[in-house]
Amino acid sequence: MKVIVCENYDEMSKRAAKIIAAQVTIKSDSVLGFATGSTPIGLYSELGRMYSEEEVDFSEVTTFNLDEYYPIKKSNEQSYDYFMRKNLFSKINVKDENIHLPNGEAEDPQKECEFYEKMIEKSGGIDLQVLGIGRNGHIGFNEPNSVLVPSTHLTKLTENTIKANSRFFDSFDDVPKQALTMGISTILNAKKIIILASGANKRKAVAELINGEINPKNPATMLKTHHDVTLFCDKEAFAGAKLGIDIGGTAIKFAVINNNEVVYKDSIKTEDTEEKIISSITEKVISLKKDYEITTVGIGTPGRIKEGKVTATNIPFKNTALQDIISEKTGLYVVVDNDANCAALGEIEFGSTKDCENIVLVTIGTGVGGGIIMNRQIARSNNNMGEIGHFVIQAKNGRICPCGQKGCWEQYCSMTALLKDALKAAKKDKESILYNNIEDGSLTGEAFFDAVQKGCPVAQKVFDDYIRYLAMGINSLVNIFGPDAIVLAGGVTKQGEKLLEPLKKLIVGDLRLEISTLQNDAGALGAAML
């Protein structure tokens, strides 16, 4: 199941309408299944708008509605027949003879159900079915039960549903106690299904739909057996705690976010085998699941990710189906993404650039990495987008990079490169403070910056060159992506203004250049928001 979380009800309605319009554009004689209730009203009004502005044509479309109260007169304002004509059919050009709802006026409900099934079959089957979800997980009027009925049938409404629907009637007693509804198989036979959920009162139903076991006591979970279901929900319906995990070479970080606030942070050691890493993550997730109402898990990991499978160099993952394994072991909805992407998402959601739309995060460590955020979303491609450490800044006699190129930015601007350059320069001037700071044949970041601080000209020259290389890359990123801000993270950024000030002088144009305030926490925070 694909889950699309929208900012609000309006966005949810518009995005769902686009899917329906696309279906009708691709197949003009589509058979559409519609639902009633308050949730799809925005969707129907958007379809009406799209029709009136000639964006979509329903003249060849056939429709089947999920359900109808029984018994009820079509003229009754509470009938679903009335609802559909008022909210949708009167606003689009679907032909009257192509509209179908179970007939609440039928004398023999059993016969009506058989007839309805035959009509659907005769139409060639439903191409796209729209569903709402009841607070108790019902779809159509398939109420929670130990046995679900496969085909269209007459059913008794639960007290729960009668109560929920009584808001449309004068009183509880006026709500019909029975209904005709498509069965679970009728619904699952649709080629494509979209399900809409809006508002905090759907939170539990949505959480169970996403994370619960397939169970007739929650009929919506049956949708998990279907290969093409998309859940559109707004943030309110989706809320619940989000767990973010950031897998690093030495530590695995965890962050739980509830109502946009970080409510838990911790880290554990990264084990040395795939099996041990997975079991330590699983154990932690299961214990957090008990303490927090976790709905989703996002995992950031180094390496390449293809269809949830991870292959990394500094972590023992080789085509590891991380997404499926953690989801199976914890019973939660899990998404996996590249760690640099997660950190960039963390920066735009929680960092100093949360007011921006587009940013590029540059992480400077053993290598140079980063993530690109466009329109507040991770910019992705199928081909490893965001390897910003590997664009070439030195065309002639460029330094050899293990990636196969020469002159990659990473070879000049990683912390490793800086310290290598510093060591080389120090060895050339044995009188220098920098040379004096060498310990056991190597230089640490602290030792290097200590020499800069003490006014060592050798160290200063290395630092000036470094800043120049850094500026070259940043200027290129600005030219390519035109971000609102560039955020720098990693050990070297501890230098703060000493790094920013000279760097800003070399930046072309008006750019917000910032040092990450989240640093190593950005990955887990962003993973939670995936």
Q: Which residues are catalytic?
A: 67, 136, 138, 143
Residue from 37, 144, 248, 367 in contact with ligand PGA (CB under 6 A): 37
Residue from 133, 175, 195, 515 in contact with ligand PGA (CB under 6 A): 133
Q: Which amino acid is at 210?
A: I
Tell me, rounded to whole angstroms, the distance of Cα 490 from its chain centroid. Answer: 26
Instruction: Tell me the window of 131-139, 217-225, 462-470, 517-525 that interacts with ligand PGA (CB under 6 A).
Output: 131-139
Q: Which of 357, 423, 409, 143 minimizes the C-alpha distance to 401?
A: 409
In the complex, least distance from residue 164 CB atom to ligand PGA, rounded to whole angstroms? 7
Is 132 a binding residue for ligand PGA by CB under 6 A? The answer is yes
Instruction: Tell me the window of 6-14, 109-117, 128-136, 255-263 that interacts with ligand PGA (CB under 6 A).
Output: 128-136
The span from the CA of 188 to the CA of 186, in Å, is: 6
The span from the CA of 411 to the CA of 230, in Å, is: 44
The span from the CA of 511 to the CA of 482, in Å, is: 9
**Which tokens hold the place of 202?**
């759907």
Closer to ligand PGA at the Cβ: 80 or 463?
80
Closer to ligand PGA at the Cβ: 99 or 130?
130
Residue from 8, 25, 38, 93 in contact with ligand PGA (CB under 6 A): 38
Place of tokens 């499978």: 309
Is 233 a binding residue for ligand PGA by CB under 6 A? The answer is no
In the complex, least distance from residue 189 CB atom to ligand PGA, rounded to whole angstroms? 19
Is 134 a binding residue for ligand PGA by CB under 6 A? The answer is yes
Is 163 a binding residue for ligand PGA by CB under 6 A? The answer is no
Q: Which amino acid is at 382?
A: N
What 3-state class would DSSP assign to 297? strand
Closer to ligand PGA at the Cβ: 132 or 371?
132
φ, ψ of residue 351 in degrees (nearest 5): -85, -165
383 exposure class (CB count in 10 Å sphere: 0-12, 13-18, 19+): exposed
Instruction: Tell me the window of 8-16, 33-41, 257-265, 299-307 that interacts with ligand PGA (CB under 6 A).
Output: 33-41
Q: How many residues form the binding site for ligand PGA (CB under 6 A)?
A: 6
Closer to ligand PGA at the Cβ: 165 or 301?
165
User: Which residues lie closer than 8 Å to 526 by C-beta, 6 or more apart?
Assistant: 244, 298, 300, 341, 342, 343, 344, 345, 346, 347, 349
Instruction: Tell me the window of 130-138, 142-150, 262-270, 344-352 that interacts with ligand PGA (CB under 6 A).
Output: 130-138
Is 137 a binding residue for ligand PGA by CB under 6 A? The answer is no
**Which tokens hold the place of 213?**
């076991």
Closer to ligand PGA at the Cβ: 128 or 418?
128
* Nearest residue to ligand PGA, scored by beta-carbon proximity: 37
In the complex, least distance from residue 38 CB atom to ligand PGA, rounded to whole angstroms? 4
In the complex, least distance from residue 364 CB atom to ligand PGA, rounded to whole angstroms? 50
Q: Are 389 and 367 in contact (CB under 8 A)?
A: yes
Q: Are 33 and 66 in contact (CB under 8 A)?
A: yes
Tell me, rounded to whole angstroms, the distance of Cα 72 from its chain centroid. Answer: 42
Residue from 30, 39, 218, 414 in contact with ligand PGA (CB under 6 A): 39
C-beta neighbour count of 273 within 10 angstroms: 9
**Which tokens hold the place of 84?**
């559909």
Closer to ligand PGA at the Cβ: 133 or 210?
133
> Rule CB under 6 A: which of 91-110 touch ligand PGA?
none
**Which tokens hold the place of 325?**
């394994």
| Sequential DSSP letters for 44-83 | HHHHHHHHHTTS---TT-EEEESEEEES--TTSTTSHHHH
Closer to ligand PGA at the Cβ: 236 or 387?
236
Instruction: Tell me the window of 110-118, 132-140, 177-185, 385-393 that interacts with ligand PGA (CB under 6 A).
Output: 132-140
| Residue ranges binding ligand PGA (CB under 6 A) | 37-39, 132-134
